[in-house]
Amino acid sequence: MNLQVITPICGNCKMQCPYCIASAHQHGNKFKDLYRENRDEYIAKLKQNFETHDWDTIIVTGTAEPMQEPETLKDIVKLLKEVKNPKTKIELQTRFHSVPNDIAREFDVVSRSIDNPDQLGSLKLTAANIDRFVIILTDAFNGYSFRQLMSESGFIPPQITFKTLHVDDAQTTPQSQWVKEHSCDIETCNRLKQEITCPVTTFQLSVRWDDNCMAADNRYVALRTDGDLYKSWDDSKPSEVIVPKISSRLNDFKSNDGKTDNNISVIVEQKLRYFKELELMVK
């Protein structure tokens, strides 16, 4: 189980993504900012949280882009590092095109997302501090192939995640309406899936396909700015969350037998020849 830490950023998100789920919840993200109102209590809650839960990964994110307040972000990471298990990896999720060294080095993984092919050219420029590139599949990617994406980005990132947008027919928010009208078409998604699951040999490229990034069940819980845990970003009330100790979860891993993580991810080994072709193409 991952912990998504919602960074206490003041004000609205500058990125204004039209599909932003974080701004579409009925509760309006009106949670207490305990971090600012009572820092000691916030830290005490953090400590208690990490004493009683074994998180697989800590994902630092927000209802506003965490990079828009670098000092707050740095402070939150510092606090998390003081209480977390040293083995637990910590990841930053950002939409900013560059992450400075002093922030990037505090994280095990920096993950940057783009939602339009016109941002592909900037990937190479910011590659030094980015570990994973997330491609949010809007209709701007219609017709794209994996090769074309790599060609236009000008380099091959070691980790790539494709994220489809979450369509919820029951929702009538402007964001859900936008998603219904601007999701990447099914033909493109199917072709991309086929390309990234082409078979194996020598070189390993980690490519994930995420069809439902908003599904919280058994994947993550959210730590809100009030220091409490929520089973999903939709929830307006905190929950008691029980995460079994890692040792008791080893059997779950074994039963997976190295297979893909259901609908979430496909870790793919690409043919060396294919990879070399890509390399030639992006030079």
Restricting to residues 78-107, which ones interact with ligand SF4 according to CB under 6 A? 95
- Is 266 among the residues that bind ligand SF4 (CB under 6 A)? no
- Is 214 among the residues that bind ligand SF4 (CB under 6 A)? no
| Nearer residue to ligand SF4 within complex by CB, 76 or 156 | 76
- Is 22 among the residues that bind ligand SF4 (CB under 6 A)? yes
Binding piece for ligand SF4, criterion CB under 6 A, among 48-56, 58-66, 162-170, 262-270: 58-66
| Nearer residue to ligand SF4 within complex by CB, 100 or 158 | 100
| Nearer residue to ligand SF4 within complex by CB, 31 or 146 | 31
How many CB atoms are closer than 10 A to CB 118?
10
- Give the sheet arrangement for strand 159-164, strand by strand: 206-210, 159-164, 132-137, 109-114, 89-94, 57-61, 2-6, 220-223, 229-230
Q: How far is the CB of 41 from ligand SF4 (least distance, A)?
A: 26
Q: How far is the CB of 179 from ligand SF4 (least distance, A)?
A: 12
Q: Which of 3, 5, 59, 64 binds ligand SF4 (CB under 6 A)?
A: 64
How many residues line the site for ligand SF4 (CB under 6 A)? Answer: 11
- Is 140 among the residues that bind ligand SF4 (CB under 6 A)? no
Q: Which of 20, 127, 140, 243 binds ligand SF4 (CB under 6 A)?
A: 20
Pick left, alpha or beta for residue 227 (phi over 0 → left; psi -120 to 50 → alpha; otherwise beta). Answer: left
Q: Which of 1, 13, 213, 282 binds ligand SF4 (CB under 6 A)?
A: 13
Contact residues: ligand SF4, CB under 6 A: 13, 15-17, 20, 22-23, 63-65, 95
